[in-house]
Amino acid sequence: MNSSTIRKKVERKCKIRGYTLKVEALDEILSFVNRFQGAQDDALDLLLDQLEHESLKSSIIDKDPVHRVVSLLLEAEAAAEDGPDIDGVTGGSSASSIRVIDAFLVPKFRYDPIKKTFYEHTGGLPIHGEASAKAALYKDRFLLLFQRIARDQHFSKPAFDTEMSHFGSCEISPIQSLVGQTGRRWVMGVISQLEDGHFYLEDLTASITTGFFLENTIVVAEGEMVLEGVFQVITCGFPPLEDRDKSSKLLAGHDFFGGGILTKEETLRLAELEKRAINDMFVILSDIWLDNEEVMGKLEIVLDGFESVEVVPSLFVFMGNFCSHPCNLSFHSFSSLRSQFAKLGQLIGAHPRLKEHSRFLFIPGPDDAGPSTVLPRCALPKYLTEELQKHIPNAIFSSNPCRIKFYTQEIVFFRQDLLYRMRRSCLMAPSTEETTDPFQHLVATITHQSHLCPLPLTVQPILWNYDHCLYLYPTPHAIILGDRSEQKAFKYTGITCFNPGSFSNDYTFVAYRPSTQEVELSAL
């Protein structure tokens, strides 16, 4: 937009609101609006809204009120830019840049197939669910993917019978309808082991036998009904991915991520801030054994390195396990573990710049001390972290998995040895047609399933009422999987996904720049 059009626009908008602008005022407004290239309309609207709050003596606007409003808005912006607030609740114009969302605080949405819309589950969610919660867990997962596939162009119902799409009609049929019908059909269902050794495809109506992929994953299969209850599969695959923007359009107004709903102006403003925050860096380490001298030494080297950098990283993420001994019957020295956490606090405290300007996030690992091994895992117990909190007051202890919202970017952290467990539970080896890298297969699986941990519930139990914390819907911008396998990074359909590797075994970690989604794999 060139300057004359902007000028005309400003004049027109002010006229609509009944203001008469003086020349200096107009210039002031123009200089403010031109700061936000590409978002000028919204900036103008914002300014005019603020101007209404100002007490004006007459409808002739001078330079002064405009100047006041402009400085107010710029101040608010500068305050948000200056430094991330601690656990900020979005209060008007000063939103914090990094928001940590604990898994237990993520809102729960369920899909109603009759109304064809998501509705929020208000009311309490007990940690120990009732029997109905377990069935609802599977049903919600299925419906989440079902509604997504219904919008996909290949699988949607044709609106007019006369128009035939190029791909033929690949409408998903309920399994119950296959009884007594011949011909090739598409089905979608959950792979369940209803009888020992025999796998069935189950959907909301019935179940039929099939035989591969991971138990409990939801697959789409094309085939023909052969004998009683046996469905001969011709092709089989995961439900297609939905673009993030498409999901967001549909779900506008629903806070799936947990970071709070933002108005359009705020989203634009935050997007702008995000683009400018090129110096923000997250350093992610996984598997930090505090009881191992060598590991602590290497950790000190890393911290020393980042202490002397020009701009210190804004966030350090320390993922478990924090002890070389898993929490089981043979390991009982919790008091020494507590003092090791205190030592870590002192170590961090010995780096004044990091203590001042960076924040520290601690995510527990699967073998760390805590109430249970069921996902989502709550934060580390206060008994272990009290001392550390004293040294580092702005340390955050969050759940596993954990979500972070950086301005408008959605990042999910998850610490679990997924690769190993998936490969063990796999019913059939993944095809090596597209790639031989198992990490890429893992990323494809979790993104297509829209779930961080699609393992069978007997292998990895999940709290029945909190399965929604593990959803990846709408697909986040970045997924960080802490795994004990080697360090890897992979960009899949716009999602940045990486594994920092085990720090205690390989001394590898990752530095991530959120504004450019750049991943720096590092090692000592």
Residues that bind other proteins (CB under 8 A): 126-128, 130-132, 134-136, 138-139, 142, 190, 192, 194-195, 202-204, 207, 216, 327-329, 331-335, 369-374, 378, 381-384, 457-458, 461-464
348: three-class secondary structure by DSSP: helix
Cβ-based nearer residue to other proteins, 20 or 205? 205
Q: To the nearest whole angstrom, how small is the minimum distance from the Cβ of residue 138 to other proteins?
A: 4
Cβ-based nearer residue to other proteins, 126 or 494? 126
Which CB contacts under 8 angstroms, 24+ apart, belong to 515-521?
515/274, 515/275, 515/276, 515/277, 515/278, 515/280, 516/278, 517/409, 517/477, 517/478, 519/489, 521/487, 521/489
Q: Tell me the C-alpha to C-alpha distance, in Å, between residue 135 and each of 129, 131, 132, 467.
A: 11, 7, 5, 12
Q: Could you say which DSSP state residue 94 is in?
A: B
Sign of the torsion angle spanned by Cα atoms 480, 483, 488, 490: negative
Cβ-based nearer residue to other proteins, 439 or 464? 464
Cβ-based nearer residue to other proteins, 354 or 375? 375
Distance CA 398, CA 396 (A): 6
Q: To the nearest whole angstrom, how small is the minimum distance from the Cβ of residue 384 to other proteins?
A: 8
Contacts of 343 (CB under 8 A, 6+ apart): 290, 296
Q: To the nearest whole angstrom, how small is the minimum distance from the Cβ of residue 489 to other proteins?
A: 33
Which residue, chain included where needed, has tokens 């060598």? 294
Q: To the nearest whole angstrom, how small is the minimum distance from the Cβ of residue 338 to other proteins?
A: 9
Q: To the nearest whole angstrom, how small is the minimum distance from the Cβ of residue 196 to other proteins?
A: 11
Q: To the nearest whole angstrom, how small is the minimum distance from the Cβ of residue 226 to other proteins?
A: 22
Q: Tell me the C-alpha to C-alpha distance, in Å, between residue 464 and each of 117, 135, 147, 193, 468.
A: 22, 9, 21, 19, 9
Q: To the nearest whole angstrom, how small is the minimum distance from the Cβ of residue 411 to other proteins?
A: 26
Q: To the nearest whole angstrom, how small is the minimum distance from the Cβ of residue 225 to other proteins?
A: 19
Cβ-based nearer residue to other proteins, 333 or 394? 333
Closest CA to 150 of 82, 250, 228, 35: 250
Q: Which two tokens stand for residue 230?
A: 């046996």
Cβ-based nearer residue to other proteins, 158 or 461? 461
> For residue 172, how far is the Cα from the chain centroid?
29
Cβ-based nearer residue to other proteins, 399 or 496? 399
Q: Which two tokens stand for residue 493?
A: 């359909």
Q: Tell me the C-alpha to C-alpha distance, in Å, between residue 100 and each of 47, 105, 310, 409.
A: 30, 10, 25, 12
Cβ-based nearer residue to other proteins, 196 or 310? 196
Q: To the nearest whole angstrom, how small is the minimum distance from the Cβ of residue 351 to other proteins?
A: 29
Cβ-based nearer residue to other proteins, 130 or 243? 130
Task: For residue 115, count other CB atoms closer than 10 A to its CB.
Answer: 8
Task: For residue 411, count other CB atoms closer than 10 A to its CB.
Answer: 22
Cβ-based nearer residue to other proteins, 335 or 346? 335
Q: To the nearest whole angstrom, how small is the minimum distance from the Cβ of residue 86 to other proteins?
A: 22
Closest CA to 482 of 223, 286, 236: 286
